[in-house]
Amino acid sequence: MPTVRVLGHEEASAAVEAVRAELARRNDAAVVAVSDAHGELVALLRMDGAPVSAVPVAVNKAYTAARMRRPSRAIGDAIRDPGRGVSAGFYGDSRYVGWAGGLPVVIRGAVVGAVGVSGMSQDLDEEMAGIGVAAILNHDG
């Protein structure tokens, strides 16, 4: 029987704290969401000063990255490129988003979860999600 790796609370907390610390250092704020491999929420932080409207966006970025097993930005790129033959309706789930800021967490070739960040520019959201992913991978040892 195959062993399935699960992203847990400890790893999610490490990601949230790494992003929170970096944003505090930069005197900025955002929402950080960490999901499991199914895209379901494991941890969430809305920093003081982060817009409330960024909460569902961060959650959906993590959901998208986990479910699609690639960065949320890639979904948007595929939808915006008519040559790829992908439409927004193809996914049939309103939780899928195409904005940058959601990154999958890949351990030993398997997606075990994702980090989604929202509340800043897409590029900064994605940069912060990368810090969260790195924290999880470093926590894994």
pLDDT digit string, tens, across residues 37-84: 999 999 999 999 999 999 999 999 999 999 999 999 988 777 766 655
Does residue 102 register a pLDDT over 60? yes
Residue 120 lies in a domain: yes
Say what the pLDDT of residue 85 is.
52
Q: Tell me if 3 is assigned to some domain.
A: no
**Can you tell me the distance from the alpha carbon of 103 to that of 61, in angstroms, rounded to the nearest whole number?**
8
Residue 34 is given by DSSP the state E
Q: What is the pLDDT of residue 91?
A: 59
Q: Give the domain CATH number at 116.
A: 3.30.450.150
Classify residue 4: in a domain, yes or no: no
Rounded to the nearest integer, the mean pLDDT of the chain is 90
Provide φ and ψ at 80, rounded to 5°: -75, -15
Residue 2 resides in a domain: no
- Asked if the structure places residue 77 within a domain, the reply is yes
Is 115 inside any structural domain? Answer: yes
**What is the model's pTM?**
0.91
pLDDT of residue 87: 52
Domain that holds residue 58: 9-140
Parallel, antiparallel or unpaired: strands 41-46 and 31-36? antiparallel
* Alpha-helix residue ranges (DSSP H) falling in 44-121: 54-68, 72-80
| DSSP reduced 3-state for 81 | coil
Residue 109 confidence (pLDDT) above 60: yes
In a domain, 1, yes or no: no
What is the number of other CB atoms lying within 10 angstroms of the CB of residue 13?
A: 17
User: How many distinct structural domains can be found in the chain?
Assistant: 1
